[in-house]
Amino acid sequence: MPDYQKGKIYKLFNKVNDKYYIGSTIQELRYRKRGHKYEVKTKPNLLKSKEILKIGWLDSNGKQNWFMKKICDFPCSCLGELEKEEGKYQKLAFKKDGDLVLNMCIAGRTKKEHHKDNKEKINAKKRELIKCEICSISVSRNSMSNHKRTIKCQEIALSKGLINKIMIFEKKKYITKNNKKDYDKERYEILKQTDYYEKKLKGGRKYNKCKFILTQDNKKRAGKKGDVCGTKCNKEYCGAHLRLLRYRKNKKN
């Protein structure tokens, strides 16, 4: 079990441009530094990893470029408490040094808090124009999924062999208290034309039973010994028994 009584807030910094990262851990700092070295290899797109790769762990003389320093001890009972404390120090760092901080987000925040603090950035990213992979038309990031559903985009996807057929997606109606009854009536008429209610009255799909009983040889594939197979057709054997017969033929050969 992790011992959060050993919780601490630390600072990873370099001697080249004074940029730093604030984190929290319950490990010894030397072991946490090994974790950062592993993260640089596995997550090179992080802001911290990019800076470390640019400067390097060692300089030309083989001396350390990056150091770890304990800011304070913070004994606590769970990870959430430790992350909230880490977030407090990160907020102070962003206010004081801004671009020198290598943290990408503030720890211990909920999604709502994160959205409030970064509302403008998130909305700007949604409005950002990106090229569609299928038709190469520039569309906002937020409306890309709806663009891929358009007939034009689907036709190009069909010509490239990305989809098998064109699907027609109807826009959902905006239902209010006033027009709900009218909407339900329209939906009822559409379902009635497709014999939806008649099929419901007849019951679920019926399956013919295979007249053969499963054997111990086919236990893993088709169920326990003694179970009767369910088959969708009128053939003598169900799919499970056909596989069993093929297996026995191959074994004999």
Residues 110 and 131 in one domain: no
pLDDT bracket for residue 188 (50, 70, 90): confident
Asked if residue 2 has pLDDT above 90, the reply is no
Number of residues that make up the chain: 253
Instruction: Kindly state the average pLDDT of the residues 154-163.
Output: 90
75 vs 234, more confident: 75
Give pLDDT, residue 48.
93
pLDDT over 80 at 1, yes or no? no
Give residue 174's pLDDT band: very low, low, confident or very high (50, 70, 90): low
Task: Report the pLDDT averaged over residues 6-15.
Answer: 94
Q: Tell me, what's the pLDDT at 194?
A: 79
Do 42 and 104 share a domain, yes or no? yes
84-125 pLDDT per residue, tens = 999 999 999 999 998 899 998 888 887 777 788 788 888 898
The more confident residue out of 172 and 177 is 177
Full-prediction pTM beyond 0.75? no
Rounded Cα–Cα distance for residues 181 and 70 (Å): 65
Q: Which of 24-38, 132-146, 222-236 has the lowest mean pLDDT?
A: 222-236
Whether 21 and 92 map to the same domain: the answer is: yes
Within this chain, do residues 42 and 108 fall inside the same structural domain, yes or no?
A: yes
pLDDT at 156 over 90: yes
Phi, psi of 14 (to 5 degrees): -120, 165
pLDDT digits (tens, 9 = 90+) for 21-65: 999 999 999 999 999 999 999 999 999 999 999 999 998 888 999
On whether both 19 and 94 belong to a single domain, the answer is yes
- Do 164 and 178 reside in the same domain of the chain? no
Q: Are residue 216 and residue 238 in the same domain, yes or no?
A: yes
Q: Which amino acid, residue 15?
A: K
Residue 110: which of 74, 84, 92 has the closest Cα? 84
pLDDT of residue 223: 46
Residue 224 has pLDDT above 60, yes or no: no
Q: In what order do the strands lie in the sheet with 66-73?
A: 20-25, 8-14, 66-73
Which residues neighbour 41 within 8 Å (Cβ) at sequence distance 6 or greater? none
In a shared domain, residues 23 and 70: yes
> What average pLDDT is seen over the chain?
83
DSSP 8-state code for residue 224: S
Three-state secondary structure call for residue 55? helix
Q: Which of 179, 191, 247, 195 is nearest to 218 (CA)?
A: 247
Same domain, 109 and 181: no
Task: Provide the domain count of the chain.
Answer: 4
pLDDT above 80 for 214:
no
Task: Domain of residue 141: give its range.
Answer: 120-171
* Token pair listed for 123: 């909305």
23 and 100 inside one domain: yes
154/225 same-domain check: no
pLDDT level of residue 170 (50, 70, 90 thresholds): low
Helices (H), the chain: 29-42, 47-55, 79-97, 111-117, 119-127, 144-147, 151-159, 180-193, 196-202, 219-222, 239-252
Rounded to 5, what percent of the chain is helix, strand, coil? 50, 15, 35
Highest mean pLDDT among 10-19, 177-186, 196-205, 219-228: 10-19
